[in-house]
Amino acid sequence: MVMPSLCQTAFTVLRQVEPIIVLEELGSTLFDTALQMVVKDRSANATYPDISREASQQRAMTDFFMTYNLIIRLVPIIPALFLAKLSDRGRRKAPIVVPLIGYVLSRLALLLVVIFRMPVEVMFGAGVVFGLSGGFCAYWPGVMTLASLGSTATDRSKVMMRVELLYGTAGLVGSLVSGHLFQLYSSSLGHGIVLLIVSILLHLLCLIFSIALLQVKQVSNNEPDENCHALSQTSDNAAVVEPPAGINVVNVVLLFLAAILYNFAVGGAIEILGVFVLKEPLSWSATQVGYGNAAGCVIFLTSFLGVILFRRCFSDVMLILIGMLSFASGIYFMSFVTTTCMFYLARSLNLFALIPMPTIRSLLSQQVPASSCGTTLTSLQLALKFAGLAYIPAFTKIYQRTLDWFPGFVFMLSSIFTVLGMIPISIVGCRSPQRRQYERI
């Protein structure tokens, strides 16, 4: 009796979206480390006139990642919108299955680059294929939609936070083992082969689960629209936050401005950080790169715990300011990092850096009526996407120009933009003096 019960429980778990989240993030963290190390290897012999060999390597790497990241951020926009429409018409698996095909193909492309010593620029084409599949831009909303549909309005915020926690935990585990897997090699093929094969197998398994096992809850069109205000639910003893009758235009504009400035700061700094740790004086190996990526994933866990702890005492505005201050202080300290120990000290200051963006989205949902919530949040996501057109090349070129005299200047600049983002949030707080009551988790 015990074995059938365990098998039934396991089968039920495998039909949920959570195993797909874990498998995809494990595979992606392995791929990220592999790509970082392959690009470093292929840029080792880069030469540019009037600059040193190390500066040439850094320039080649930053140029590659600038182009690659622009591709994978911008190409998915239209396919993601198309897949979102399919999802709204009842094909809930489409935004998950189609991007996962792109994940498999892009990982396979990097494996071929390593095996056949092809130019690393082949990954630009792989990035286009990945983007045309919808990429993360389609996959993540698809995952969150299924998680939302599988929960009640009362429990929805807890479910969303659990999804974020799973995502961060899987990233942490994958990052910790990625560097060690990269070191495993065949004498004829070299480093990275085992790592990429494992990454591809994880994504294939994820794709099979999403096609064959993933269960989609069917929702009647007559059900009330609860999604937008799920994060505004309070405890059983508190009053429910009612959606406004009209749009609070001033607060919406201020929240948009804060989100764009913060996204500009975080995106620009993280864009450079992966390359920064590969140069002297850090000069990280693949194992250290994996550990460094794991430190970034820990922030998912600490931000999750921070929300649980702080939301009992502070308003949404204060939560956002705490998160922004956490990132601003850590990334400012990163400007002066010269040892691995200092790097981890700087990252430890970023413990709550992931709190601001979800909380800004929650606040936005309270400034507009339910009928405008989806449009507002989608507009914000598109605004953040297009902001990447500015911060990716801007931070890359600034880093290249300041590499010889102050390589950490971009991190200081990121800290300044974060502080600027705190100003509109503070104004929103002044305009909304009453403190919300929060759900006790």
How large is the average pLDDT for residues 325-334?
97
Look up residue 409 and give its two tokens.
């200047």
> Does residue 281 carry a pLDDT above 70?
yes
- Fold of the CATH domain 250-431: Growth Hormone; Chain: A; (1.20.1250)
Q: Name, in order, each residue with C-beta under 8 angstroms of 163's C-beta and a sequence gap of 6 or more.
A: 17, 18, 21, 143, 144, 147
Each residue's pLDDT tens digit, 184-242? 765 566 678 999 999 999 999 999 999 988 877 665 444 444 444 433 333 333 344 45
**In the chain, what are the domain boundaries?**
11-214, 250-431
CATH topology of domain 11-214: Growth Hormone; Chain: A; (1.20.1250)
Rounded Cα–Cα distance for residues 97 and 139 (Å): 8
pLDDT value, residue 358 = 84
Return the pLDDT at 237.
Answer: 37
> Mind listing the pLDDT tens digit for each residue in 267-277?
999 999 999 99
Q: What CA dihedral angle connects 56, 61, 64 and 66, to 10 degrees? A: -100
CA angle 147, 153, 156 (to 5 degrees): 40
Rounded Cα distance between 193 and 113, Å, is: 10
Q: Is-same-fold flag (11-214; 250-431)?
A: yes
Give the pLDDT confidence score for residue 253 in this predicted structure.
Answer: 93
Helix (H, G, I), strand (E, B) or coil at 191: strand
Over the stretch 6-42, which tens digit does the pLDDT of each residue have? 677 666 767 788 899 999 999 999 999 999 999 999 9
Q: Give the mean pLDDT of the chain.
A: 85
The residue among 57, 26, 29, 27 whose CA lies nearest residue 286 is 29
The verdict on whether omega for the bond into residue 244 sits within 30 degrees of 0, i.e. cis, is no
- The string of pLDDT tens digits covering residues 123-175 is 999 999 999 999 988 898 888 778 777 666 556 656 777 788 889 899 999 99
pLDDT for the residue 157 = 58
Stated pTM of the model: 0.86
